[in-house]
């Protein structure tokens, strides 16, 4: 546990810092990262021993209600912050809300803009879902020599732009090992094998919240089943309520307030006169 001051100059404790992440370079699997966008998810992540979390920039304050110790990276959305000024404003708002870093898949000049303010920036390379039209499908990136070399140069350019870390998504595991070895960036693997300082999965995949689990993920729970049970119990409860209304068994005498007959008589007398 490290003592720091956050970007709002609050005395804080963190399970990881930029310094400890950089010092872990070469120690594969040194940290685990998950997604969190609520106080409940953040509290669960901390309780489980997870060190790092990613959330939407707008959700940082909510996430911090659940955990003051996670290293939180705020994702700068493409639509929420477009111009340079909007991006800086959004980043600083997220940081003062409690984020420790930001992640962006925008152009390198944006990375440099943020890094120039000493903002810890994580880039996103490999398969970037919002840019998947450029690679033609949902697939691993770097399966040809040309793609592998281009990806290496993207790693280098990202580091030169001032990023301290990179989320590498769907990069073939042997290539990821070479890229991580040849780069000074802290590497975060999402479906890119074990050769990274940080292993990353989405909380909803880990907990089994969706109908399907991506190939790169592993399902450890079955919250979808519990949600189905909750939905069924909700419907059963509502149906029972409606049935009691129809049969006049709701509300019962102990579920309403009452007054003495004398009061009603006095009420009627006053109105009748």
Enzyme catalytic residues:
169
3-state secondary structure 52-121: EEEEEHHHHHHHHHHCCCCEEEEECCCCCCCCHHHHHHHHHHHHHHCCCEEECCCCHHHHHHHHCCCCCE
104, 50 Cβ separation under 8 angstroms:
no
153, 131 Cβ separation under 8 angstroms:
no
Which H/E stretch holds residue 126?
strand 121-126
Neighbours of 185 (CB within 10 A): 24
**Which tokens belong to 141?**
């990136």
Question: Is the omega angle on the peptide bond into residue 251 within 30 degrees of 0, that is, cis?
Answer: yes
| End-to-end alpha carbon distance in the chain | 78
Rounded Cα distance, 258 and 244, in Å: 21
Provide the β-strand partners of residue 54. 35, 73
């Amino acid at each position: 546990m490290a003592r720091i001051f956050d970007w709002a100059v609050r005395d804080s404790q963190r399970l990881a810092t930029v310094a400890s992440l950089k010092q872990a370079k070469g120690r594969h699997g040194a940290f685990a990262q998950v997604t969190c966008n609520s106080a409940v998810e953040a509290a669960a992540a901390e309780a489980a021993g997870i060190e790092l979390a990613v959330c939407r920039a707008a959700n940082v304050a909510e996430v911090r209600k659940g955990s003051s110790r996670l290293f939180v990276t705020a994702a700068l959305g493409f639509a929420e912050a477009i111009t340079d000024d909007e991006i800086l404003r959004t980043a600083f708002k997220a940081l003062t809300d409690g984020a420790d870093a930001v992640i962006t898949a925008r152009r390198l000049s944006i990375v440099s803009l943020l890094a120039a303010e000493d903002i810890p920036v994580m880039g996103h390379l490999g398969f970037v879902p919002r840019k998947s039209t450029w690679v033609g499908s949902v697939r691993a990136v770097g399966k040809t020599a040309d793609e592998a070399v281009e990806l290496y140069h993207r790693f280098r350019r990202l580091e030169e732009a001032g990023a301290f870390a990179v989320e590498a998504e769907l990069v073939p595991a042997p290539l990821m090992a070479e890229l991580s070895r040849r780069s000074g960036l802290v590497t975060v693997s999402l479906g890119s094998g074990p050769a990274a300082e940080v292993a990353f999965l989405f909380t909803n995949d880990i907990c089994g919240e969706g109908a399907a689990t991506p190939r790169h993920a592993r399902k450890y729970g079955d919250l979808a089943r519990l949600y189905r049970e909750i939905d069924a119990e909700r419907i059963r409860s509502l149906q029972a309520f409606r049935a009691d209304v129809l049969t006049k068994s709701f509300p019962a005498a102990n579920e309403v307030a009452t007054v003495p007959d004398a009061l009603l008589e006095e009420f009627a007398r006053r109105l009748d006169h």
